[in-house]
Chains A and B, each alone.
Chain A
């Protein structure tokens, strides 16, 4: 499937936008994670207020086969509440850091959602039948007086309006001293890993009171701490393999068969630094904010501040592909350090066929790179281009002195409008882009 708009007949167009239009954005409404499930039928978002909203893809209309169905709200629930750590006298934010879907095994859907400290397994199930005719209670639930019952009847299942219920099935708590940044479901569908700044734990989905610590990079003396874990992911096919990235721009691949504690890696991925571009910010911009395996499991992608890199798992000394996301920011690093934007953690994602990758930028821009044609495109998630089926116009940031028409200069970029979270449908050309409190859904134009 084609991935990127460009010379081909393929173009991205607006489909939907979810969220309030107000200028005043409530902090709790800021979307903090976006994830399609494995079939693409469901799209989950988590926000800073600890809520999860799940959208479902409506079936396409039979009348209009060219029109893709829309995503409508399927379920909303409060996943995490704010907590207070009495020992440290610190608040624990309810912000949902990550959502990961479990592969579907029955009619219900399961997902893992996590905040800084606690992971929860949620079951989202449908109920469209109700039992009526109980013996011991009335239709409204009140208990009947047993002495009044003179006959017995068998309850009958009657249809009812569809009700989607979300219930927490497991709570995995108290295993992380530091802030959880990643969760990843293993390909064995029985275990998953959770990673915080210094440790990675392996859990069994059925067991909540125990987890195995598989990586621990905490130094004996915290004063010697110079590196933290920034992201981790399980290999999509090999259930014994996982990777984790660090704040120093390195990725370690570990095999759980080698040792119980995977402090020593099996593979170590690092690109040698370019000495000509070294600055005081070199380390900060090399810090990896996201790591994602390709669907095939042959490659992995890492996102650092200015670029996206694709690595072949068989080659550790450098990436096979490097894509510049917003190189024009390299001369602005000092200002970005001052306003803390340099610490923004952008995510990245693959399309279903691994032929294209996508990541976000500032000014509500997001970028897509086609790995085959090497073409790239910059698009914007804005209300202005939110007319139904409107084709998205490519955007460009002018770097030189002359600014062409329709280009935007680097100094005019809005650094408060950042797209950190994006997701690509696993099978179709449908993408979800989170812009602060709004969720934009774009799809390809079917000609």
Chain B
């Protein structure tokens, strides 16, 4: 949960537009409650939307219209939060919390799942269960969302799967481009399939092969094996944290993946 102190600072930030247009610097208690309530509602809407976007990939045939509408809602909330300055505050708060977080292997696994998902789905169907189960153990997770910001000039960050919690807030990014690519990229075959990931194959090696189309198996699990979300989670946890050497394939937008995960954990 968001520490109380931070919340108070949140509402005293002064640059939040009050719902009723009141002077925030001397808010009445009612106004403060209204603001907090609105922020919480907005936050939960954002969380819900991100969850929906992630779950989109589990469907057999994702509905593009629905995905676009949800993504636009997320973008809208992000923009409003950026204007509020809320975005910045949460970014800083989260980075502070991250440093102190007692991270468990669960989170590493969860991140790594997202990493693999990124590399393996160059525009293919993404099946990734929501790694909520693995991440619930972390107590220091904030409810608020992590900022998806990145310096533009540095180019993509060198992929660092080893430090999933360390991310660098940077310049503004309109929309989580990683999410966008995941959401809309599944509708296109953009790139040829990368070489099969041995760790991934090992992960699925004990699953009944007849479950999959032969093509799927040969292309190294590019597509949705149509397992239920919790089936995959179980197989993941049984394998423990796999080597993070696939970092080279991890995209630079690890912070985006991380922030998605924060949402999951936070909620």
Q: Do A and B bind each other?
A: yes
Q: Give A contacts to B, CB under 8 Å.
A: 84, 86-93, 116, 177-179, 197-198, 222-223, 225-228, 230, 247, 280-281, 283-284, 287, 334, 337-338, 340, 343
Closest to A225 in B: B184
B105 contacts across to A, CB distance below 8 A: none
Q: Is the CB of A338 within 8 A of B124?
A: no
Given A226-B68, A280-B42, A89:B223 Cβ within 8 A? yes
Contact with A along B104-132 (1 / 0, CB 8 A): 00000000000000000000110000000
Q: Which of B65, B77, B224 is the one whose CB lies under 8 Å from A230?
A: B65
Q: Is the CB of B45 within 8 A of A89?
A: no
Q: Is the CB of A247 within 8 A of B69?
A: yes
Given A89-B125, A89-B223, A223-B181, A284:B64 Cβ within 8 A? no
Given A280-B45, A334-B45, A88:B223 Cβ within 8 A? yes
**Pairs of residues from A and B, 6 with the lowest C-beta to C-beta distance, nearest first:** A89-B223, A222-B184, A223-B180, A197-B64, A284-B69, A91-B60
Closest to A226 in B: B72
Extra contacts, 4 of them, besides A88-B186, A89-B222 (Cβ < 8 A), are: A90-B125, A283-B73, A340-B52, A343-B65
A281 contacts across to B, CB distance below 8 A: 73
Q: Is the CB of B65 within 8 A of A197?
A: yes
B177 within 8 A of A: yes
Given A178-B187, A334-B45, A284:B215 Cβ within 8 A? no
Closest CB-CB distance, B40 to chain A, in whole Å?
12
Q: Which B residues between 123 and 161 are near A, CB-CB below 8 angstroms?
A: 124-125
A226 to B76, CA, bound (A): 11
B177 contacts across to A, CB distance below 8 A: 223
A86 contacts across to B, CB distance below 8 A: 213, 215
Place the interface of chain B in its size category: 35 or more
Q: Is the CB of A283 within 8 A of B60?
A: no
A334 to B187, CA, bound (A): 28
Q: Is the CB of B68 within 8 A of A93?
A: no
B189 contacts across to A, CB distance below 8 A: 87-88
B223 contacts across to A, CB distance below 8 A: 88-90
A230 to B69, CA, bound (A): 12
Q: Is the CB of B69 within 8 A of A283?
A: yes
Q: Is the CB of A84 within 8 A of B213?
A: yes
Return 19 A-B CB contacts under 8 Å, by A number.
A88-B186, A88-B189, A90-B223, A91-B60, A93-B60, A93-B61, A179-B61, A198-B64, A222-B180, A223-B177, A225-B68, A225-B184, A226-B75, A228-B68, A247-B68, A287-B69, A338-B48, A340-B52, A343-B69
Identify which of A84, A222, A283, A284 gathers the most chain B CB atoms within 10 Å of its CB.
Answer: A222
B48 contacts across to A, CB distance below 8 A: 337-338
B188 contacts across to A, CB distance below 8 A: 177, 222
Closest to B80 in A: A280
B103 contacts across to A, CB distance below 8 A: none
B69 contacts across to A, CB distance below 8 A: 247, 283-284, 287, 343
B216 contacts across to A, CB distance below 8 A: 89
B37 within 8 A of A: no
Q: Is the CB of B73 within 8 A of A280?
A: yes
Closest to B66 in A: A343
Q: Is the CB of A88 within 8 A of B175?
A: no
Closest to A224 in B: B180
Q: Which of A93, A177, A222 is the one whose CB lies under 8 Å from B181?
A: A222
Given A225-B184, A247-B69, A89:B224 Cβ within 8 A? yes
Q: Which B residues between 36 and 67 are near A, CB-CB below 8 angstroms?
A: 41-42, 45, 48, 52, 60-61, 63-66
B185 within 8 A of A: yes
A216 to B41, CA, bound (A): 37
A158 to B73, CA, bound (A): 66
Q: Which B residues between 182 and 239 are near A, CB-CB below 8 angstroms?
A: 184-189, 213, 215-216, 222-224
A197 to B48, CA, bound (A): 24
A178 contacts across to B, CB distance below 8 A: 64, 187
Given A87-B189, A337-B48, A228:B65 Cβ within 8 A? yes
Closest CB-CB distance, B67 to chain A, in whole Å?
9
A68 to B73, CA, bound (A): 50
A199 to B168, CA, bound (A): 39
A337 to B125, CA, bound (A): 24
Q: Is the CB of A177 within 8 A of B187?
A: yes
A281 to B41, CA, bound (A): 13
Q: Which of B77, B124, B185 is the one whose CB lies under 8 Å from A222?
A: B185
Q: Which of B61, B64, B66 is the one whose CB lies under 8 Å from A90?
A: B61
A283 contacts across to B, CB distance below 8 A: 69, 72-73, 76
Closest to B59 in A: A90
Q: Is the CB of A227 within 8 A of B63?
A: no
A4 to B188, CA, bound (A): 47
Q: Is the CB of A287 within 8 A of B65?
A: yes
B75 contacts across to A, CB distance below 8 A: 226
B71 contacts across to A, CB distance below 8 A: 226
A225 to B182, CA, bound (A): 12
Closest to A91 in B: B60
A343 to B186, CA, bound (A): 20
Closest CB-CB distance, A349 to chain B, in whole Å?
21
A340 to B63, CA, bound (A): 12
Q: Is the CB of A89 within 8 A of B61?
A: no
Q: Is the CB of A280 within 8 A of B184?
A: no
A340 to B48, CA, bound (A): 11
A228 to B42, CA, bound (A): 25
A225 contacts across to B, CB distance below 8 A: 68, 180, 184
A197 to B77, CA, bound (A): 24
